[in-house]
Amino acid sequence: MNFKIALIRGDGIGPEIVNEAVGVINKVGEKFGHTFEYVDVLLGGCATDAVGKSYPDGTAELCRSCDAVLLGAVGGPKWGSDKPAEQRPETALLAIRKDLGLYANLRPAALRPALAEACPLKKETAEGGIDLLMVRELTGGIYFGKRDKYQTEDRGLEATDLMAYSEMEIERIGRRAFEMARLRRKKVSSVDKANVLETSRLWRSVMHRLAEEYSDVAYEDVLVDNCAMQLVRDPGQFDVVVTENMFGDILSDEASMITGSIGLLPSASMGDSAPALYEPIHGSAPDIAGQDKANPIATILSVAMMFRYSFRLAAEADAIEAAVDAVLAEGWRTADIAREGESAVGTRRMGELICSHI
């Protein structure tokens, strides 16, 4: 088969990790008889530098002409919050998610067998295993609500960010979560703050409706503060966790940390029709950019998700995941996951090692 992939290399370590991911894609192509065509798409701080805005005109169309989008990372101190919105990389990231309608963000957090010792939780807790899938709503809520900043008469400046959710938005992300749970251990934990927020009460009522419809899937409500606590107390209790945009942003960083390193976790963002977007959940790590130090595994595992979900090639996806586990089992580590005294390999070497196991 032939696939067309949009590559958003981005900023910081983005270009280095995307290079290694492309190496893996090509190796899979050789082994399994597929060909790939790549389209470079400029987005993020590098786009601001090149054309004056982080989300150049035509970006969404270019991505839509491809079968899938692979993104390294965007952002960096050079394009900070003091810059106008159209120059900030984060603006571009939110815009592409919205324009492609990528409302479902899947963030699997699994403790890889070879890395059990990297889990910062108690040994007994880690032994129970961690294998959860965070399903984060990605195109609604407070990230996209009306914002305002205005002068008050007696309290100085005031700012507001509106959090809004419609039944339609809640139902479609809820369905994703229940469908994913059916392919896994058949449990959905829906995270909200229904004791305080009206959006959460609506969220909960829609989820309850779905829970009745998907009666073969176990269901529970979890308050977001309690969920933050349960993730470090007993993460093994979770299978699919579904939540709104900002809660999901926060909880997915927490979930990644308990698996050892944020450098290991992939993600997929998908909608109903446009090509899905795959990216590591970590950022652009400007402090180590260009030094061959970054861990390419999260991006490589994102490529595995691309094969699984966008290309529907499960054997190829399995081969990539098995290659990563084999390399880790042999003891190879990048600096972020090496323990004291262990030697580390660089980005390129880690990429080559994974390729050689495919």
User: Binds 296, which of Mg ion, ligand IPM, none (CB < 5 to 8 A, cut-off by type)?
Assistant: none
> Among Mg ion, ligand IPM, none, what does residue 90 contact (CB within 5–8 Å per kind)?
ligand IPM
Contacts of 307 (CB under 8 A, 6+ apart): 28, 313, 314, 316, 317, 320
Q: One of 192, 239, 249, 336 is an active-site residue; which one?
A: 249
Q: How far is the CB of 357 from ligand IPM (least distance, A)?
A: 29
Should residue 336 be labelled a site residue for ligand IPM when binding is judged by CB under 6 A?
no
Q: Tell me the pairing of strands 266-270 and 276-280.
A: antiparallel
Query: Which among 193, 219, 278, 336 is annotated as catalytic?
Result: 193
CA 48 to chain centre: 23
Q: Which of residues 280-299 bind Mg ion (CB under 5 A)?
A: none
What's the min distance (Å) between Cβ of 33 and ligand IPM? 34
Q: What DSSP string runs through 122-182? A: -HHHHHT--EEEEEEE-SSGGGTS-EEEEE-SSS-EEEEE-----HHHHHHHHHHHHHHHH
Q: Does 249 bind Mg ion (CB under 5 A)?
A: yes
Are the C-beta atoms of residues 113 and 160 closer than 8 Å to each other? no
Catalytic residue among 55, 103, 143, 165: 143
Instruction: Let me know if 249 is a catalytic residue.
Output: yes
Give which of 129, 141, 152 is closest to 191, Cα–Cα. 141
User: Does the active-site annotation cover 193?
Assistant: yes
Site size for ligand IPM, by CB under 6 A? Answer: 4
Contact 295, 348 (CB under 8 A): no
| Euclidean distance between CA atoms 63 and 68, whole angstroms | 8
CB of 284 to ligand IPM, least distance (A): 9
Helix (H/G/I), strand (E/B), else coil: 304: helix
Sites for ligand IPM among residues 225-254 (CB under 6 A)? 249
From candidates 7, 28, 93, 207, binder to ligand IPM by CB under 6 A: 93
**Residue of this chain nearest to ligand IPM (CB atom):** 90
SS3 content of the chain, % helix, strand, coil (to 5): 45, 20, 35
Q: Which stretch binds Mg ion (CB under 5 A): 4-12, 174-182, 224-232, 241-249?
A: 241-249
Active-site residue list: 143, 193, 225, 249, 253
Residues near Mg ion (CB under 5 A) are 249
